[in-house]
Structure 1
Amino acid sequence: MKKILSYVKNHLGVAIFGIVSMILVISADLTIPYVTEIFIDDVLRGKNYEIINKILFIIGCISLIKFFFGYLKEYLFDYLGITISKEVKETLFKHIEGLSFSYFDKVNTGELMSRVGEDADNIMDIMGFGFRLLIENIAYFGIASVLLLRISPTLTLVALSTMPIIAYITIKSEKKIDDVYDRISDHIAELNTTAQENIAGVKLVKAFGREKHEILKFLKYNSKNFDLQMEHTKIWIKFFPLEEFLGNLSVVLVTCVGGILVIYNKITVGQLVAFTSYLWMLIWPMREFGWLMNLFSRTKASAGKINNILEVSTTIENSKEGIVPQNIEGELSLKNVSFTYGEKNVLDNINLNIKAGSTVAIMGTTGSGKSTLMALLGRNYDATEGEITLDGINLKDVNLKALRDSISIVPQDSFLFSDTIENNLKYGKNNATKEELEKAVELACAKEFVDGLKDGYDTLIGERGLGLSGGQKQRLCIARALIRDSKILILDDSTSALDMETEYQLLKNLYHGDTKKTTFIIAHRISAVKNADMILYMEDGKIVERGNHQELLNKKGKYFEIYQTQFKDFLELSDEDVANF
């Protein structure tokens, strides 16, 4: 909570004006019972009608103060709560965006959505409403107690007789509610994750006919959420009615004892009426104290979850004096590079020297470390051992933004935003011109289908590119990467959904582009890699074969076996068949 409260420092002016407005409203409220006392004792009973005009004037002033400063108080505290919630969300989202890839390997999307959404909104509730009500209640309780003692110490002791019991009940209930809210917060994150994953994968669910299974899974999580909410409700209804009863009991006791004191002329009727009014200013804070503890418990749990994320530091440190190369050529060198993830050795002693402008193709079995090797180039992860250099400079010494600006990547997952085709393409280069967009789309072999759309580049595509075929999404992702015009281009199995003719034309465009990029192609088809300057074959995190297409065929190793499998029918053709073809 301390970190959350620190946000108030940035808005002290708003907070101070809000508190001043609150004090004026409280002062006006506390004046009303005293004016009522004078009206009853001096006007109604004392027949002093000359002061009626003064009393009416005072009541009018009190009403104006409550109207104007009451509005100002509500507005300022609401503004404070909304502003702080906005800043918390911005800080949290900015922090999340800056975290390393390894963090997102372990955290569910639904959990992060809960923190940025529901938990940050709880902060708004406490800042805009909770703290205001807490300050008000403390002020009402403290000042009303003093005024009650002024009227009658005896009645005050009667009124306060139930308060220690109410305070004990409230403190006892808070401990139990704290624990429940902590578990509710965790479970809501799980519930959101389940819903998010199911909605994102709804096509797969329907394709496998697993709707009933997913509904039952969601119902299971929702039932647990229901149980936790009911557990909270049971705690609440166990203590709140008792607090309500004790508060009302205090009024009954005061009325009975106060009536006796009036009969024996210990206090006046006006004083008893004023005392009862002040008593309600004592009772309401005690009643709301339980509700406030409920709100504080919820916010405390939310603030704890948010702080847990804010305390996570990135594992990829950007050098404070990071080098920003003026002209990146794209020459890469990997010396004895190994990478361990957890207890698993993903890459083992990789050594490579890649000339600027060359094309490197990588093949290998699933899980052999191909994508991980590419992830090291952009420092999505840091090598556990060894050194990677770009144009002779250690990657750890290069400014992180400059490094990633020099790399364009087309990942395995063809992710597109729910936006127009043009805005998706401009994600690669925000200020790209129309000519640059069209050139990139043409190089990616996407011109024909984009031009064929009714709205062209202004066509809205669905979430994650729904509404487009797999091949169309891949070509748009490739176009998005080409628009960056970076010196290093990584195609991570990004032509798998293309037919061989389109793949051939696309790769031909890349090989014969205006400016030669250092290009990495991860693929499973020989047709996609055979023209590369260097072909690597990986197994169990090691490079077991390297060379160009012909050299690897001559070795008759793993690459040759794949070649024979993929071109089996062609190899079985006789010379006569080839001639006739």
Structure 2
Amino acid sequence: MFQLKWLWHNLRGDRARYIFALILSVVGCSLTIINPYIGQRIVDTFITGDDAVHNLTSQRSLLIGLCLGMIGFSLLRTGMAYFTTLLYERASQNMLYRVRIFLYNKIQGQDMHYYDHNRTGDLMTKMTGDLDMVRHTMAWIIKTIVESLTVFIAAVVYFFYIDAELTWWLLILSPPIFIVAFIFARRVRPMYGDLREKLSQLNTITQENIAGNRVVKAFAREEFEVQKFTEKNVNYSTANKAAAMVWLDYFPYLETFAQAFNVILMIVGGMLVMDGRITFGEFSAFSALIWGLSNPMRNIGIIINDIQRFFASLTKIVDVYYAEPRIVNGHNVEVKRRYKGTIQFENVSFKYDNATVLENINFTVKPGETIAIMGATGSGKTTLINLIPRFYDVTKGRVLVDGKDVRELELDELRGNIGVATQDVLLFSDTIDGNIAYGDPDMPEDDVVEFAKLAAADDFIRKMPESYNTIVGERGVGLSGGQKQRIALARAMAVQPPILILDDTTSAVDNETEEHIQKSLRELDFDCTKIIIAQRVSTTAEADRILILDNGRVIEEGTHSELVAKRGYYYEVFKLQNEGIGRQATTHG
């Protein structure tokens, strides 16, 4: 029942169309008894009746009328079937469109926790194959059920009208057919759930391999990836064959029972004709309409097959449909205010899947201040900055922006005041201009160029085939790591945010370019609080303050000179990097 309620809920806007289609299906299939009835009249009156020869001459107009009636009703049923199919398709396609938009918005509205626990390939399968299975159910499966049931009932009613005894003989096959169908449904349902999971795994492997093709080629692991894909493909193929073989196990029984209708009709019906119980015309009506009993019985297996696929797909769709983010964006702010840029961490701790990542973090950043964060890999640097725009929520303590807990701020407004350039640079399949102006699509071209210059990107952009109108490939394919970082930095600065967060965004650029970028960041013509994650002392040295993280704790805090004087972690990094520079200079000298 839940499945039907869900379908009905999502048919809003097309319910009248769909109900009208169902009514037309019932009416059209009910008309199937008309032609057998007309055929019965023709046979009894003009072919096998005692006065058949006389009637052929005296009632020729009736014969012509009956023949034209058969043709007319055939054309009417064909037209109704065509129109009905259009209605089903229109309603199901409209529903598919609405649900896909809803699911996409739902996925867009999820927080980072959701993406961390759901595979991209699985989400893609839900948005494509699973949704199409729902559309197929609305357009064909329900239609087939309604039409098969209507034809079956109409045929049974008409058969009882002609002769009850022969009808009961035919219906004796119904119970064993339903029993076989019930057993088949129970056996095949879990198999389609497993089949759906295997398909999801196959799509995930494909998506990961395509996205990571550079890494695969860099390590010459093509054969390994092909083998891994083949393994998942074999698993999916095996599951698919297993489900198909179950249907083949039961198909002979259903087909035998369906064919048995004709055998019973020939034996019992023939005896009743010889006994004079029914006329030859009535027997011909049974023969003409026997498919009304046998076809629905044949369709039971196909319907059950598709219904089980539908249940497996709908279960996955519902997981997304009713998923609620832990961090909710209400989109309630119409006029967004510009923040001053004060950031405070008060006793902040954060756990991820019960693993402690940050513990008791305390510091304050004043408006316009530049804070650098340094620490070993896995020390919690990226997690710390992810708490500011509320990509995650703290486990304990508070993160405040302009003196207000970020959990009390509207997400649109909060994130609209923060420019972020992440460590993992993602560029969209768009022009370079479009990527830089991503946060403000109406940005003038002169402004785009200006921010590209600040990020030391203008020179290499102008050397590209179509300059700022050059299309960059998926994820920035065709650009070097340093070029992608500079475009991402320009994108972050282009929204002129009061808070700018840079996650190791100069790691792939040379020292000269880095110096230019640092100078640009110091001389921004708008007020901006900057939080910079970096591993180079050359990047952190100019910061107003430097935080050193280790195992989720702040172990050192101060200016460059203060931390060098402490001779702790920062001093060791400073010494190591300066010695490396000294050795390089000696070697080149």
Q: Which moved more, 1:416-425 or 1:349-358?
A: 416-425
Q: 1:88 to 1:459 in 2, by over 3 A?
A: same
Match of 2:532 in 1: 521
Cα distance in 2 for residues equivalent to 1:400 and 1:570 = 44
Match of 1:20 in 2: 23
Match of 2:290 among 279, 297, 304: 279
Q: What CA deviation, in whole Å up to 9, does each residue of 1:395-427 have, x standing for no partner?
A: 111111100111110111111112222222232
Matches within 5 A, 1:26-425: 26-45=29-48, 46=52, 47=55, 48-318=59-329, 326-425=337-436
Please tell me whether the aligned partners of residues 323 and 398 of structure 1 are also in contact (alpha carbons under 8 angstroms). Answer: no
Give the total of aligned pairs: 576
Q: What CA deviation, in whole Å up to 9, does each residue of 1:212-267 have, x standing for no partner?
A: 11111111111111211111111100101210111101111111211121122111
Find the residue that maps to 2:79 and give its secondary structure: helix
Cα distance in 2 for residues equivalent to 1:512 and 1:188 = 53
Q: Which amino acid aligns with 1:190?
A: Q
Q: What CA deviation, in whole Å up to 9, does each residue of 1:13-39 have, x standing for no partner?
A: 211221233233223322111111111
Match of 1:6 among 9, 12, 20: 9
Q: Which amino acid aligns with 1:262?
A: V
Q: What CA deviation, in whole Å up to 9, does each residue of 1:446-465 have, x standing for no partner?
A: 11111111111221221111
Cα distance in 2 for residues equivalent to 1:345 and 1:29 = 70
Shift of 1:8: 2.3
Matches within 5 A, 1:386-465: 386-465=397-476
Cα distance in 1 for residues equivalent to 2:364 and 2:214 = 43
Cα distance in 2 for residues equivalent to 1:405 and 1:266 = 85
Find the residue that maps to 2:360 and give its secondary structure: strand
Structure 1 vs Structure 2 CA RMSD = 1.9
Q: What CA deviation, in whole Å up to 9, does each residue of 1:483-508 have, x standing for no partner?
A: 11111111101111111110110111
Cα distance in 1 for residues equivalent to 2:188 and 2:503 = 50
Please tell me whether the aligned partners of residues 338 and 417 of structure 2 are also in contact (alpha carbons under 8 angstroms). Answer: no
Q: Which amino acid aligns with 2:10?
A: Y
1:552 pairs with 2:563: yes
Cα distance in 2 for residues equivalent to 1:325 and 1:355 = 21
Cα distance in 1 for residues equivalent to 2:309 and 2:197 = 12
Cα distance in 1 for residues equivalent to 2:583 and 2:319 = 63
Shift of 1:44: 2.6
Shift of 1:125: 0.5
Tell me, which stretches of 5 or more residues in structure 1 are unaligned?
A: none
Q: Which amino acid aligns with 1:201?
A: G
Identity %: 33
Q: Which amino acid aligns with 1:378?
A: P
Cα distance in 2 for residues equivalent to 1:352 and 1:177 = 59
Q: 1:286 to 1:95 in 2, by over 3 A?
A: same
Q: Which amino acid aligns with 1:211?
A: E
Q: Which amino acid aligns with 2:466?
A: D
Please tell me whether the aligned partners of residues 161 and 250 of structure 1 are also in contact (alpha carbons under 8 angstroms). Answer: no
Q: 1:31 to 1:546 in 2, by over 3 A?
A: same
Shift of 1:63: 3.2
Find the residue that maps to 2:143 and give its secondary structure: helix
Cα distance in 2 for residues equivalent to 1:306 and 1:295 = 16
Please tell me whether the aligned partners of residues 461 and 467 of structure 2 are also in contact (alpha carbons under 8 angstroms). Answer: yes
Q: Which amino acid aligns with 2:512?
A: E
Shift of 1:172: 0.6
Please tell me whether the aligned partners of residues 359 and 518 of structure 1 are also in contact (alpha carbons under 8 angstroms). Answer: yes
Q: Which amino acid aligns with 1:427?
A: Y
Match of 1:511 in 2: 522
Q: 1:573 to 1:232 in 2, by over 3 A?
A: closer
Find the residue that maps to 1:86 and give its secondary structure: helix
The TM-score with structure 2 as length reference comes to 0.94
Shift of 1:325: 6.3
Q: Which moved more, 1:209-218 or 1:496-505?
A: 209-218
Shift of 1:570: 5.7
Cα distance in 1 for residues equivalent to 2:338 and 2:465 = 41
Shift of 1:319: 7.0
Q: 1:232 to 1:102 in 2, by over 3 A?
A: same
Q: Which amino acid aligns with 1:10?
A: G
Find the residue that maps to 1:567 and give its secondary structure: helix
Q: Which moved more, 1:350-359 or 1:39-48?
A: 39-48
Q: Which amino acid aligns with 1:30?
A: I
Cα distance in 1 for residues equivalent to 2:494 and 2:329 = 26
Cα distance in 1 for residues equivalent to 2:510 and 2:457 = 13
Shift of 1:191: 0.9
1:469 pairs with 2:472: no
